[in-house]
Structure 1
Amino acid sequence: MDITLANFQIKAIADLTEAMEQSNRDIILKSCTGSGKTIILTHFMDEYLKSNYKTVFIWLTPGKGNLEEQSKEKMDRYIHGSQTKLLSDIMTAGFEENDACFINWEKLTKKGNNALKDSERTNFIEHIRNALDNDLCFKIIVDESHQNDTIKADDIIELFHSDKIIRCSATPKNYKNAILIDIPEEDVISEGLIKKLLIINENFEQHISVDDQITYLLDKAITKQRELHSEYLNRNAEINPLIIVQIPNKSDALLDRVEEYFESKGITYENNLLAVWLSDKKQNLEDIEQPNTEPIAVIIKQAVATGWDCPRSQILVKLRDNMSEVFEIQTIGRIRRMPEAKHYESDLLDSCYLYTLDEKFTESVKQNLGKGALDAYKVFLKPEYRSLTLISEYKTDVPYPRDAKLSLKVIYKYFEKKYHITGDTAKNKTLLEAHGYSFAADIIDYTKSGSVNTLSKENIAGLNDISIHEPLNTHKHGKEYHHCVAEIGYKVNLDYNSTNTIMRKLFLNGLRCDFKILKIETKELYAFIINNERLLVEDVRDAMADEALQLTLAIPKTTEKPLGFPLEMIFTYDGTAKSQVEFSKNVYKGYLSSAENRSLPEKLFERYCENSNKIQWFYKNGDRGIEYFSIVYTDNFGKQKSFYPDYIIGTTDGKIWIIETKGGFTKTGDSEDIDKYTAKEFRVLKSYTEKYKLLGGIVRQDKQSGELCICTETYSEDIKSDSWKLLSDVL
């Protein structure tokens, strides 16, 4: 099964590969539920085993639920020809090079838990000794590491004498001297794998007096379940959204009341609409994680089995008795996955919902999820803005893979621009050599020689450089070549195969290609790539980000259609914010100054709109989805991207402006804009506004004066240039 890795997954694999080369023993992979941790780790192991000899991976999983078998099965499915083993396989065959072994450690630590008998335990330790005697080197992955921080678990890890331990968790503990690889949740959301937002207690009355929390909360949940279900049906998606009802651990009385409530609504165990998963009571759990099975609700207690994946779960009702229980991020994780690993571009379906009267629980959810968990209610578009439309552009529905042919052309053009290469490959060799590229036949490593009395950078830089030459051996250096090609690809989100093809076409003799930089033989190519890895990474990365190298492409067809503002939307805000003023100039009734998610530039701009006598109304655009306004452009890879400008505003003289806000400039004039594509977006915005006779610009804050500035004609990274005007002079 070929799987296309998301950009953040490719980056995580690259970060893991890099961390393996550092001296630190512990590596922590922090990733939220739903980020495809198993996909990341299995691909990482595969890449690592291809690039390193004498290695065995040990993947330790916790507890019940056969997680080790699930993980092994996933690796077998994702990675063709992988060499995977379970504990039983190790007991018969021992460890071999390139093994990926999946072991549930409770089978090693728990007495009487169909664990190893003493004789078998000795046998297991023998297998480890034999492997170490044969110079095999163990690398350890600890899955759900927060669950097994115990002395027994530590003893097992020690048996393997491993120099590298990767610990994975959504909520990792702090380890001293560990390298932390943190996958940003925003990246997982933007790839569509998890829901955009967790909405807490939607449309609750401001002052609730309830006779019965169960009836109040479950009524809300069932109404929401029906609303979601009918929207899925509208979209021909066969998904039956699931309500998870979490009751406190020691509360059998509450269980009876929840069951009675459901029965009064015709939702029972007998008609398969209700499921339960408690240690002493399990019903209707068969296939519950399938997208369209019957149960619409499942009752659980505090901890649900680790690794339980049920992407159709979308609503959590958290009931409480007098005790407040500890918040577990895992619980929220259960309702955050997208059922088909993609967004539906609908705020309703792309959110998950929590209903609870447990204030402590909502506080800890907000602390843990920050801006991913917000208060919400519905707002409606004011009548006078209902007839306004703009032409919105959408990408064609054809998935458009990264284009290796185009990437090859862009890299060639970059070399042409930077090194002035031509069609003369012999001359190109001289040009590249003059710019520091090495054409040595041997593999060269550099070290220093001499003596220093203090370890300062200057002293070390002053030492003699010594180069160590090692004759190239394609068998021996094959793994290193693989590693270097993969590294070059990771930096620009290309997979190993595409990168390898590009390198061979650009540099290898005998392969026909209109864009040849060099013609060197296979052995020389190995040495060239290995010795110049750092330079190649830099050049390939710069080629992809270079605005000047946007090749004029036949843009794949875009769809254009008139679009008005959504008539209603779920308005999310921060109920704890000091200021809760209503912005009267917003096109929606009830739009508050505490609107979230908003970046600082967006907050400043909204306040500016509200207080400016030149601005009549403003609309905050969404950042993805067909219900929002977008403009399409193509990146250097030939991949279509949708650009959603932040604001549409109307002025008192009847003009319409489209505004994008970006990070500011510091007091010294340095840019705080982290978006590499700003220059591209400016060009796209300008050509769109010219085409439709509108106005537009990019707004950023100048920290030195505290003023908002706008750029409307030509884009510049220098706030002091004439491109930037004070916003108050323009709007």
Structure 2
Amino acid sequence: MTVLADFQVEAISDLLEAMEEDQKEIVFKSPTGSGKTIMLTHFMDEYVKGHLKTIFIWFTPGKGDLEEQSKNKMDYFVHNAQTKLLDDILTSGFEENDFCFINWERVTKKGNSALKQNERDNLIDKIRKAHIEKNNFVVVIDESHQNDTVKSDDILNLFKPVKVIRTSATPVFNESARLIEVDEGKVIEEGYIKKMLVINEDFSNFPEIENPLEFLLQQGIEKQNELARSFIKNQRKVNPLVIVQLPNNNDVVLENVERYLETQNITYENGLLAVWLNNKKENLENIEHNEAGPKFIIIKQAVATGWDCPRAQVLVKLRDNSDEVFEIQTIGRIRRMPELFHYDEELLDSCYLYTFDEKFTEGVKENLGDSASHSSTIFLKEEYRNIELTTEEKVGIPTSKDPKLMLLILKKYYQEEYNVTSRTTDNRKIFENRKYIFDEFITKSVVTGNVTSVNQESLEQLEKITFKDRSSARELSREYHNRVSRLGMKLGLTYNHMNTIVRRLFNRSTHYENKILSLETKQLYTFVINNFYRLHGDILNVLSNEKYAQQSQLSLPVTQSKLLKLPLEFRFTYNKSNKLQKLYKKNVYEGYLSSAVPRSTPERLFEKECELNHNVEWFYKNGDKGSEYLAIVYLDNNNKQKSFYPDYVICVNGQILIVETKGGFSRYGQSEDIDVFTPKKFNVLKSYLSRHNLKGGIVREDKSNNELFICYENYNDDIQSDSWVLFTEFLDTI
């Protein structure tokens, strides 16, 4: 019989109490490794003992066969439970006190047969029959942050549940729901999860690294050996597992990992290596057991959700130089204690992350920010349901990309913005003064340190270190190819065309009369890799500045217009911890609060002004992508169609205005707008307003007086110019 921890008993008690309360939804937030499934299965078993005619439906995300794992766990924890999978339901239907585990993809994926009306035994009929027999459904949504869609909501409504329990380590909150939260500190105190996460241990001892991938794998091997020796010394039968997480779309990395591990005698054949990918699975049987043979397992992000392997203690997170965001849930895979108690030895009571992910802290903060937000669905007020706006859509006309012209434009850009000359040695000094790196090796920055809890405050304390990557010429060439391809994509050019441009501008061995730098091939590789984000910024400047615009040769219209009504509902996210929760009555949605997130400072100030200004009748916050939102289509400097989504639509004395907000001006007049496309967006917006006989402009804050100003005629980045008018005075003229 399972012995429950105090925090688990408390959570089960809270769940049982919440079932008797008025709120229809319960949000169950529990840290990864706290035994969420144990708590829920015991709660469900206790509940049905006192509530006959109850059927539990447990929805899991469509990755890793989680519905079968959850069913098997309930069979293990609760003997003689009536557990079923979807196929069992379609065969025999629902019975009272059933516990049914269903994969979302089986009922939401296009082409599934479970809901088809022409199927002899479909789920809809089974649900209808259960309702006729007076059964009540309670729905549990596991990993609820992954399946919050209209389709899943439609499926949910079929059951007409008396209660919905949404559970996740990072759930989306609903103000009207009953929140039950398991305290992470209590989970650590009980010994369920590890005391500390150690990030990039001792990396400061390695100022130069020959091969980053092999270095990370070697750190994993050495840490696994150290942990294994300590478990043996402490007479614990645990074989610590190293998780190697691959980037989601890179099979070459898999081959390199397998090749290196084979040199260390870690292979599929000897049972020390396992793999769990969509198209490849090896040595997975009983891998969760503490004494299982594999020391390493190769996975991708998809498997990280819901997979329970308490002996996993080391995570080697690999990247492929993409901007893939680090998912905080991944860390949860290595936080469980293998025997549900601490060993009072720091080595064994910690888990270890090794990664050269330079955006690790940003990725985790982004995840933390999402999980810290609360949300609710709010609805459009009836009086605004007939408002119509004219939105624009791309028509998909192909546009030609001229690499020769782009070479000339980039050369012109460096001549005018950097003041480069024909003397490449002088130009190098100019680039160095602009913080460009000239080094024979790749320089990288990572964080290192220990955190007891993965939160923003802990991340701020991590030490940042820089090291040199002495990768082979072959590895340098591959990474150079990756970076040049991504630069080319910004300009709509192929790798070959972009590579030619880069070499003509910067490579000594490529003939070009107007060369800017004269770098050897290896120097070129490291120059592009080390300065990728600086070069990326140069390209953004070229695309945003009107003086570098290409002359479009298109004679056909580039857009098609259609009338658009405001969305009837949307998921509103807000900061519940904000002390001020003012209801904005002038917003077109019922329940729109002043604590809306994410909102920039200019957006918050603008919304406050709209609410207080007597001229403003209503305001609407536009979305930033999607066909349901107001969009303006334009051509960038490379003749590529782009969609611009202005921030706000407001109504002033019966007149509709379209407004874009941007970063303000400092107390001393310096621009704090980081968007290089603002001047272009202004011209795009002004053209749209002219075509549709509307008003509007760009709004920015002047911090010297804490007032909002609007530019609506000619754009100027100087707040002292006559282009900027006090926003309140502008509204008075309408």
TM-score, normalization by structure 1: 0.49
TM-score, normalization by structure 2: 0.48
